[in-house]
């Protein structure tokens, strides 16, 4: 795009005069509105889980899950501080539910994902069905679905929350309500959703118009089995290793209407440079390594979180086989015809 025209005294006087009527000349701001490449305050950054965990346990001594409604520490991108954003369109935080606690039932228009970071045996209930949460599980809360969390175990439970809060806020479409009870009534068997939809089968009367997947817990053990099968049957992609997208069995699309979710296995070595327009949040699952984003190098291991801004080249380097979970707004960009990628150093 061309540079803004020169500001003359006559033009400045004109701008000041029309400003009183809440008008602005496009030619003075066009270069900042329509940019040659993505331009964002989002920065490459990483968080070590051990440090976050210590802060979460301290928070557990300061406030109960019920009083907080959700005891969460937000991952705030350093370039977007004060906005509760990890990227320009997505929110992320770590939630803690201590033994014996319940995070009360509520619902909202925002879509939410949980990725279990530590603990075993706590539960999330969604629309009358409980699921037991294990390390590496990916759990969905579809828009306007009643959900609550409980921990009947003897150890704290931690998981990553990912929501489309910034996107919904930008659209002025946020609604939320409390059930008024700590826990919702359970009307379905534990694991019923996966039993009905998780085996390339579905009930004959299934509502195929649903925008979110009817499976609300994608067990890590199954995801890992899929990656292992891919490893045995194919060579790794030069940029991604072996990578899969969590999908909605009703239509084969994204498991969530506004958030794309992925898990990948990286073989030992260094990936080819890759960039895409969807700023992406990564979570270490197994192994560890170093990811270089432009000129920023981030060391990561299991449960660590890091963010890759839009259109920044990324290279993963691992000494031994490692796994990463990730999520982004790719599904939204694809629906709008905006998403693009570039492989290599082009």
The reply to whether 195 and 329 lie within a common domain is yes
Which residues, 6+ apart, have CB-to-CB distance to 172 below 8 Å? none
pLDDT at 170: 97
Q: What is the pLDDT along the chain (346 residues), one digit of tens a residue?
A: 567 789 999 999 999 999 999 999 999 999 999 999 999 999 999 999 999 999 999 999 999 998 999 999 999 999 999 999 999 999 999 999 999 999 999 999 999 999 999 999 999 999 999 999 999 999 999 999 999 999 999 999 999 999 999 999 999 999 999 999 999 999 999 999 999 999 989 999 998 888 999 999 999 999 999 999 999 999 999 999 999 999 999 999 999 999 999 999 999 999 999 999 999 999 999 999 999 999 999 999 999 999 999 999 999 999 999 999 999 999 999 999 999 999 998 6
The reply to whether 218 and 265 lie within a common domain is yes
DSSP-derived letter for residue 110 is S
The reply to whether 25 and 143 lie within a common domain is no
The reply to whether 50 and 29 lie within a common domain is no
Q: Which of 325, 323, 272 is nearest to 113 (CA)?
A: 325
Containing 165, the helix (H) or strand (E) segment is helix 165-170
pLDDT at 2: 65
The reply to whether 318 and 171 lie within a common domain is yes
pLDDT at 236: 98
Pairing of strands 91-97, 138-141: unpaired
**Residue 157: what are its φ and ψ, rounded to 5°?**
-120, 130
The reply to whether 23 and 151 lie within a common domain is no
pLDDT at 295: 94
Beta bridge partners of 277: none
The reply to whether 179 and 83 lie within a common domain is yes
Containing 242, the helix (H) or strand (E) segment is strand 242-245
The reply to whether 329 and 256 lie within a common domain is yes
Q: What is the CATH number of the domain that holds 223?
A: 2.60.120.10
Q: Which domain holds residue 290?
A: 45-343
Cα 152 to Cα 100, 102, 118, 124, 192, distances in angstroms: 5, 9, 15, 11, 21
Report DSSP letters for 78-98, one per residue.
Answer: TTSTTTT-SSSS-EEEEEEE-
The reply to whether 141 and 269 lie within a common domain is yes
Residue 25 burial class via C-beta count within 10 angstroms: exposed 0-12, middle 13-18, buried 19 and up? middle
Is residue 283 classed as helix, strand or coil in its secondary structure?
strand
Q: How many domains does the chain have?
A: 2
pLDDT at 209: 87
The reply to whether 6 and 87 lie within a common domain is no
The reply to whether 96 and 67 lie within a common domain is yes
The reply to whether 24 and 123 lie within a common domain is no
């Amino acid at each position: 795009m061309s540079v803004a025209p020169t500001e003359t005294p006559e033009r400045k006087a004109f701008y000041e005069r029309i400003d009183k009527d809440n008008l602005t000349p496009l030619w003075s701001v066009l270069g900042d509105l329509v940019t040659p490449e993505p331009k964002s305050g989002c920065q490459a950054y990483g968080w070590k889980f051990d440090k976050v965990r210590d802060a979460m346990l301290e928070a557990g001594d300061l406030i109960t899950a019920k009083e907080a409604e959700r005891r969460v520490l937000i991952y705030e991108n350093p370039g977007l501080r004060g906005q509760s954003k990890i990227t320009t369109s997505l929110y992320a935080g770590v939630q803690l539910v201590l033994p014996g606690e319940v995070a009360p039932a509520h619902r909202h228009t925002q879509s939410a994902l949980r990725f279990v970071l530590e603990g075993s045996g706590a539960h999330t209930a969604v629309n009358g069905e409980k699921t037991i949460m294990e390390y590496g599980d990916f759990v969905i809360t579809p828009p306007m679905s009643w959900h609550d969390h409980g921990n009947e175990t003897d150890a704290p439970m931690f998981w990553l929350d990912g929501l489309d809060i910034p996107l919904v806020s930008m659209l002025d479409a946020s609604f939320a309500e409390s059930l008024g009870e700590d826990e919702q009534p359970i009307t379905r068997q534990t694991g019923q959703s996966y039993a009905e939809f998780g085996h390339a089968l579905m009930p004959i009367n299934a509502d195929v118009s649903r925008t979110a997947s009817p499976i609300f817990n994608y067990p890590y053990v199954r995801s890992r089995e899929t990656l292992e099968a891919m490893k045995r049957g194919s060579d790794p992609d030069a940029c991604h290793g072996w990578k899969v997208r969590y999908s909605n069995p009703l239509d084969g699309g994204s498991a969530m209407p506004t958030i794309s979710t992925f898990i990948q296995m990286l073989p030992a070595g260094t990936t080819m440079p890759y960039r895409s327009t969807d700023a992406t949040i990564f979570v270490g699952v197994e192994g560890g390594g170093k990811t270089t984003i432009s000129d920023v190098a981030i060391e990561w291991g299991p449960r660590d979180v890091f963010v890759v801004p839009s259109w920044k080249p990324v290279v993963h380097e691992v000494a031994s086989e490692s796994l990463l979970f990730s999520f982004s707004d790719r599904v939204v960009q694809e629906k709008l015809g905006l998403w693009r990628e570039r492989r290599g150093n082009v």
